[in-house]
Structure formats: structure tokens, C-alpha cells
Structure 1
Amino acid sequence: MNVSTQARRSRTVRVAAALLTLAALSACGGPPAADAADPVGAAAPTTRFSENGVTVTLSVSEWKASEGTLTAVFTPEKKGFHLYSTELPATGIEGVGRPTAVAVSGALKAKGALKAAADVRSISVPGVDAQVPVYPDGPVTTTLPVRADGNGEATVLVGYASCSTRDGCTIPVSDRPVRLRVSGDGPSFEAP
């Protein structure tokens, strides 16, 4: 076997090994895929936490010219649980419920209002005269347009409560901080 054939086979083996590694990582929930809207193909900064029956996944995508979209996906951990509308008053209705909320401070500023990709429905709660606005059972995705206000530390404040018409409610989460660092390359989440 000549040197040229040996080099080609060695290169083919390295490429095949790299592809197998990527396939294994994808199958095992490996690193997140690159954001299609990101022109350089870098993965969107992402972090996740679970508290009081809900897993929250935060990511920043479409980052261009110091602006992007902060996405928060709220996923109740048990079937049959819903989240309250972003429009719910901070103290709920007659004390019932807490709004799904995402706010930013520090070197990251909101550039618009928080929007949810779910329809609001109203439910009756025993002992409450008014209807209570909630999202359908299951995950809710919210988006908040953001912009950098210089480089430095930033905080995302997350709030929510989840309830089930059969199993009751979890303890509300209010102003749960998630830290970021904003630099010339964009935002990055601190390790949890």
C-alpha cells in the first residue's frame, strides 16, 4: 500500500469516527445544535433549572448587532398542570395564581413585551369570583426581545406558578435570578 492510499484511509477513519461521535452525542442529548438564524453557526447560549414542579429552559438566539431574542420554555414536570397567563396581575386574581414572567436587568435590557406562544383560556376556581387566565396544560414558550446595554453582568428574573384542576398548585416562584455575562460576542449564561 502506498503512502497516498494510507493517508486517504487514515483521513476516512478520522472522519467516520468524528461522525459517529456526533451521532452518539445527538442521540444522548449532547450539545445543542447551532441556531439556524445564527450566521456563524454557533450554538445559542442555553441554561436550564427546575424548581417547584416546572423545568425552565432559557436561551438567547438571533443575536445580531447587540440584539436578540430571549426564549424561556416553561415545562410542568407532571401531566395535567398548567401555567398562568403573562397578563395575570402580580398577586394573582383574589390571591390565586402568579403570572408567567421573564424580565431582564443589568447589561441586558428588554426591547419589547414578553409574548407567549400559547392561547389563553379562562378557568373557574372554587372560591374565586372572577375567571382566572391560564395556558393549556403542558409547556409554554415565551419570547422577549432584548438588547445589550454595554458589556457586563445581567440578570434574567423568572416567575411562574403551576396548577392542576385535580392535584392543586405548586409553590409559586417569584423573581428567580439567572445570571448572564454580556460581552462583545453576545450573552452567555453563568454555570448553574
Structure 2
Amino acid sequence: MPSYIHRFASLVSWVISPVVVAPAAYLLVILVGFAEDPQRYYYFLVLFLASTLVPMLLVYGLKKIGRISDYNISFREQRFLPLLVMVAVNALGYEVMMQLDAPRIFTGILLFNAVNTVLILLITLQWKISIHLLTLTSCIALLFIQFGLPVLQLLVLVPLLMWSRIYLKAHTFMQTLIGGVIGFLVMYVELTWWIGL
């Protein structure tokens, strides 16, 4: 029977997971930063499909046919196919955003999600990086670009998520740390360059 600490760690890991954190960040940017844009809900739909719905359906399907052993894709060797599909999904989302003539921050999100997934793919060939931490910190970088310094308070979630992933034996300390550092720095540099800040 799992302990209360184990249950709490699992809860943290699911609540601060990529399929929750990414759409929440995107929705905040759209509702607050682009409240007057009549197409804002179309932007969110594209982002939600690429960041949440398609990944969830993909992981569910792969688990169902036995291509992955669990929904967190704990084994590095099983991550290649889903990551490859996500590169294509984000690239397609980028094209849709371009057709919608969306603001550059939204085309940039999908473009660099695709680029960064290729980076994760290459790292995964040799090492297992924390996608949970990478997603959390890249979303904090996005919100920081949009809303400024107050957003950095969200960094308090980083050590909590690191503890959760390490406690659950999903990652080592270095895998979570590197994932977090890369996520923030890479997304910040990419988006500020893309937007022209």
C-alpha cells in the first residue's frame, strides 16, 4: 500500500505534468495577453491539440498496444517514437498557426516545441532527461516573456517537482536539474529572438 508521501509525490507529478502545465500557460497568455484578439480561441485550440490532446491519445494508444510500459514512458528506449510523432504534430501546428496569421509568440511556441523535441530526441538516444521539468521551466520562460518579473515566483514549483520525480525514481537529480535549466534557457532565448525583443 503506497504511503501518503508516495501519493503526494504522484499527485505533484501529475498536476505539474506537461499535459497540464503547457495548456494552462497557453490559456493564460491568450486570455490575459490577447483578450481583444477575435481569433484567440482558435490559437488555443491549436495549442491544446498539439500540447495536450494528441500527446494523451498517443500515449494511451501506445500503452494499449504495448509499445510503452506506462503512461509516464519511464524507459528511455520507449520515448523515441512518441517524441518523433510530437515533432510532426508541433510542426503541423506551426503551419496551421501560420495560416491563421497568428501573433509570432504562438507560431514561435509550436515551432520551438518541434525544434526542442528534436533536441530531447537526440539527448534521449544517450540519456534520459526530465520532460516534466523541461516543460515546466519552458512554460515559466514563456510567461516571463509575456508578463515580466512576477512570473518568476513560479520557480518555487521547480524544486517541488524535482523532489517528486526523484522520489518516484523516475529521474536522477541531474536529469531533473538539466531538464529544468535547458527548458528555461532554451525557450527564453528562442522566443525572445523570434519575437524580436
TM bucket (normalised to shorter chain) is: under 0.3
TM-score for the superposition, normalised by structure 1: 0.27
Name whichever structure is richer in helix by fraction.
2
Higher relative contact order (CA 8 A, sep 6+): 2
TM-score for the superposition, normalised by structure 2: 0.27
Name whichever structure is richer in strand by fraction.
1
